[in-house]
């Protein structure tokens, strides 16, 4: 059983019911809708196809809205030309004038860039393909003179990065606000918030969700800059998870630092029990080829071994020639890497010092499951919190999360090793466990005579009440000994 989850981005290559059904069968657990591209009617069409696919397959998936964020881009090139540069060329950078670009005069969408950067700093274009150094600043004209560092080409509307600079961009744009309101109306489960740099960005998003009735939507900030890395502890604490967004990160910081930052962010999220997604270019070559490179296979496996909850596909499933094959390939790699994981989570020893009742109960459950070779750990959870606290310990046994809300079940699809199960709300936990056992026997997860570990909070449905661990054996009819 694969325990690492898969986030699959939908786009032109996966824009029909047949393909989406195939993606679900291939292993997609959460579908990502990238609002940097497409308008609301286009995204609504995809969301409706996913909902239809869930009905056809009987398989639940999560819905994730990824915001465009407050990014900086160049303007349009005159005649949509592609400009060619050589080392030593000079470019005048203008600030949001709206004038079309010519080769030696490029406009950017963020007027405040002039104030944020200093002479001697770097400005990179198109994911770092064109590197420049700031030679001078003209305060009267509010223009920068740049020196080109390498031969490159530059088309229209390309991304702009200023590595190491604390930009004063606002966290939420007007477009983001409109998109989020739209997404909440469609029942999204997660928001992947782009370019989160500081804790206040998370709080602003939380406030907006309260305003539009989306207070139960989980916030997954994307750490993409040095400023975001510096503030990661507080960002993750305030959020509901985190995405290691390696694309812009690899431009904003030295690329050789990305693996260390990836490892650090995964560890931070594991330590506080919040789901972490590792993203960007994981199987990038599969946009054009039916098989991954060996380096890509190792990259995916490395993320799993470090403790990521989910691995993500972007262009591979959204725009590539092999969307279904890329999901299947990632599922195979994830499952194999799951089997290579160490028996104990890297955060276990650190958590043993915790005075939290829920954490102590989760450790006791995982330890008991290991010692009695339990076939499953079954937990009752209203919000998903208890299941996530067990998930971060990476137990060998599958985690079956019983919940009475469809939304919690969908959101747990992002957490490592968790299989959610929706049951009617009941007054006696024994009845709920018996119902779950019958379904698990039917699905082949457990069999008569198997040992299971049960984690429950008494009284039921009271937040923070997780305080009981029971060891039980399954009977033929699903009742416990």
Q: Annotated catalytic sites, by residue? A: 32, 73, 222, 280
Q: How far apart are CA 115 and CA 121, in angstroms?
A: 12
The tokens describing 26, both together, are 């291939």
Phi, psi dihedral angles at 195 (to 5 degrees): 55, 45
**In this structure, are strands 5-10 and 310-313 parallel, antiparallel, or unpaired?**
parallel
Residues linked to residue 451 through DSSP beta bridges, in sequence order:
473
Kindly provide the b/e burial profile for residues 122-144, where b requires at least 16 CB atoms within 10 angstroms of the residue's own CB: bbbbbebebbbebeebeeeebbb
The H or E element that residue 105 is part of is: strand 105-108
The H or E element that residue 296 is part of is: helix 294-306
Rounded to the nearest 5 degrees, what angle is found at the Cα of 66, between the Cα atoms of 194 and 2?
Answer: 110
Residues 6+ away with beta carbon under 8 Å from 18: none
Q: How far apart are CA 353 and CA 14, in angstroms?
A: 47
- Nearest Cα to 279, choosing from 323, 316, 328? 316
Q: If you count them, how many residues does the chain have?
A: 481
Rounded to the nearest 5 degrees, what angle is found at the Cα of 280, between the Cα atoms of 278 and 282?
Answer: 80
Residues 6+ away with beta carbon under 8 Å from 272: 236, 237, 392
The tokens describing 344, both together, are 């104990």
Residues 6+ away with beta carbon under 8 Å from 164: 121, 122, 226, 252, 253
Q: How far apart are CA 312 and CA 269, in angstroms?
A: 16
Q: Give the chain's largest Cα–Cα span.
A: 83
The tokens describing 319, both together, are 């725009």
The tokens describing 255, both together, are 């690329």
For 413, which DSSP code? G
- Nearest Cα to 278, choosing from 241, 253, 327? 241
Q: How far apart are CA 41 and CA 292, in angstroms?
A: 33
Instruction: Print the SS3 string covering 179-207.
Output: HHHHHHHCCCCEEEECCCCCHHHHHHHHH
């Amino acid at each position: 059983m694969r325990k690492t989850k898969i986030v699959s981005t939908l786009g032109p290559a996966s824009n029909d019911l047949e393909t989406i059904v195939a993606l679900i069968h291939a292993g997609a657990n959460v579908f990502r809708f990238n609002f940097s591209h497409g308008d609301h009617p286009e995204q609504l069409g995809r969301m409706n196809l996913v909902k239809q696919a869930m009905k056809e397959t009987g398989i639940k998936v999560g819905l994730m809205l990824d915001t465009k964020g407050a990014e900086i881009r160049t303007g349009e090139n005159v005649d949509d030309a592609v400009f060619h540069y050589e080392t030593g060329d000079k470019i005048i950078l203008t600030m949001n004038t709206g004038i079309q670009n010519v080769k030696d005069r490029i406009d950017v969408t963020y007027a405040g860039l002039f104030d944020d950067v200093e002479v001697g700093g770097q400005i990179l274009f198109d994911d770092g393909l064109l590197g420049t150094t700031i030679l001078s600043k003209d305060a009267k004209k509010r223009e920068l003179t740049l020196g080109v560092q390498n031969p490159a080409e530059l088309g229209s509307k390309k991304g702009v990065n200023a590595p190491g600079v604390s930009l004063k961009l606002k966290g939420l744009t007007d477009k983001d606000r409109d998109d989020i309101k739209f997404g909440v109306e469609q029942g999204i489960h997660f928001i992947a918030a782009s370019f989160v740099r500081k804790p206040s960005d998370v709080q602003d998003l939380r406030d907006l969700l309260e305003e539009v009735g989306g207070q139960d939507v989980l916030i997954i900030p994307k750490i993409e800059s040095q400023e975001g890395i510096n503030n990661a502890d507080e960002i993750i604490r305030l959020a509901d998870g985190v995405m290691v967004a390696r694309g812009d990160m690899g431009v904003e910081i030295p690329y050789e630092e990305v693996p260390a930052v990836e490892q650090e962010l995964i560890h931070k999220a594991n330590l506080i029990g919040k789901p972490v997604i590792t993203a960007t270019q994981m199987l990038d070559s599969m946009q054009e080829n039916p098989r991954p490179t060996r380096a890509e296979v190792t990259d995916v496996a490395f993320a799993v071994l470090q403790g990521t909850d989910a691995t993500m596909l972007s262009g591979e499933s959204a725009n590539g020639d092999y969307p279904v094959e890329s999901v299947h390939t990632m599922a195979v790699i994830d499952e194999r890497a799951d089997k290579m994981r160490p028996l104990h989570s890297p955060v276990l020893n650190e958590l043993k010092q915790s005075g939290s009742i829920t954490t102590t109960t989760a450790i006791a459950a995982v330890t008991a499951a290991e010692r009695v070779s339990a076939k499953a750990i079954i937990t009752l959870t209203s919000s998903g919190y208890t299941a996530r606290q067990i998930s971060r310990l990476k137990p060998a046994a599958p985690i079956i999360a019983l919940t009475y809300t469809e939304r919690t079940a969908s959101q747990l699809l992002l957490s490592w090793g968790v299989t959610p199960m929706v049951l009617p709300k009941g007054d006696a936990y024994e009845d709920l466990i018996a119902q779950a056992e019958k379904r698990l026997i039917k699905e082949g997860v457990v069999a008569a005579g198997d040992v299971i570990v049960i984690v429950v909070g008494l009284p039921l449905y009271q937040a923070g009440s997780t305080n009981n661990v029971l060891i039980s054996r399954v009977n033929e009819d699903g009742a416990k000994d």
